[in-house]
Amino acid sequence: MQQIEIKGNDLNSIIQSFRKEHNLKDWELEYEVVSEGSKGLFGLFGKKPATVKFKLLDTEERVKLFLEQLLKRMQISFEKIDIQTEQKTLYVTIKNSSDAGFLIGKNGNMLEHLQYLVNRVFENVKGLDRIYLDTEDYRLRQEQTLLRNYIDLINSVKTTGKSMTLDPMPANERRIIHKFVEGEKDLKTTTIGEGDNKCVVIMPASHKEPETKAKKVELTPQQKAQQSYQRHNNKYPNSHPSKQTRKSDKAKRQS
């Protein structure tokens, strides 16, 4: 956080000019009036400028302040908010919320909506590309589930040196693949296709241009069944009753 003292003819013009220069919202504007200034005698003698001292938060502090105020208004309890910065991306974690189920929402919908809102609020901040929001390691568990289906295919690109094009997948799943492959120094990714047909292409890092005829990945029947089952569960989480529920239903019918 920086403290900046500015002098000018009147308080209102100082405040509005500072707010516009730093692209600040009303809720994050913090300042102290040091002096209201005076016009002096006949506007000529003893004239004193108005002086305002501002507190300028960095990007992490601004995001944290916004989320703290938003969650409190939503009456969602939490212990703290942690933020990690990697290049132009912020990874935000809401720690120890007793309302984690509501915060995540059905199929992660609430978390996605909050993440979208935060990104819209700070979309014009220089040096910031994207903000990821997580709680209770929800996204980590989702990533691990998705990657289990593709880890062997990713490794095969290393061993064969041939590019592979994955099946079309939604944007959030493509981001998981891209992020994982970024950690593999011998590989890189790109996206091809349009709309719902966008696919991730995984290729050796030595390739200067993506292959136009990259090999299409054919999942094994077992992998396809597992992927289909997982997506079905994500969409209809209550469609598969537990064994205890089935036994209870059977007992009711027998009685």
Per-residue pLDDT band at 8 (split at 50, 70, 90): confident
What is the per-residue pLDDT across 205-229, written as a single tens digit (0 to 9) for each?
887 655 444 445 556 666 666 666 6
Between CA 169 and CA 161 the distance in angstroms is 23
Residues facing residue 176 across a β-bridge: none
Between the alpha carbon of residue 99 and those of residues 63, 104, 242, the distances in Å are: 20, 9, 24
Long-range Cβ contacts of 140-149 (<8 Å, 24+ apart)? 142/108, 142/176, 143/176, 143/179, 143/180, 145/230, 146/173, 146/176, 146/177, 147/176, 147/177, 147/180, 149/219, 149/223, 149/226, 149/227, 149/230
pLDDT at res. 236? 53
Higher per-residue confidence, 72 vs 222: 72
CATH topology of domain 143-228: Ribosomal Protein S8; Chain: A, domain 1 (3.30.1370)
* pLDDT of 133 over the 90 cut: yes
* pLDDT of 1 over the 80 cut: no
pLDDT at res. 231? 60
Per-residue pLDDT band at 117 (split at 50, 70, 90): very high
60-136 maps to CATH 3.30.300.20: yes
pLDDT at res. 177? 92
pLDDT at res. 26? 81
Per-residue pLDDT band at 95 (split at 50, 70, 90): very high
Please state the domain extents for the chain. Answer: 2-57, 60-136, 143-228
pLDDT at res. 242? 46
What is the per-residue pLDDT across 146-201, written as a single tens digit (0 to 9) for each?
899 899 999 999 999 999 999 998 888 898 899 899 988 899 999 999 888 999 99
pLDDT at res. 157? 92
pTM of the entire predicted model: 0.60
pLDDT at res. 55? 85
Between CA 58 and CA 148 the distance in angstroms is 38
pLDDT at res. 212? 44
Mean pLDDT of the chain, nearest integer: 81
Between CA 104 and CA 99 the distance in angstroms is 9
**Sequence-ordered list of residues with C-beta below 8 angstroms from that of 157, at least 6 positions apart, any chain:** 163, 164, 187, 202, 203, 204
β-strand pairing of 215-216 with 50-56: unpaired
Residues facing residue 130 across a β-bridge: 89
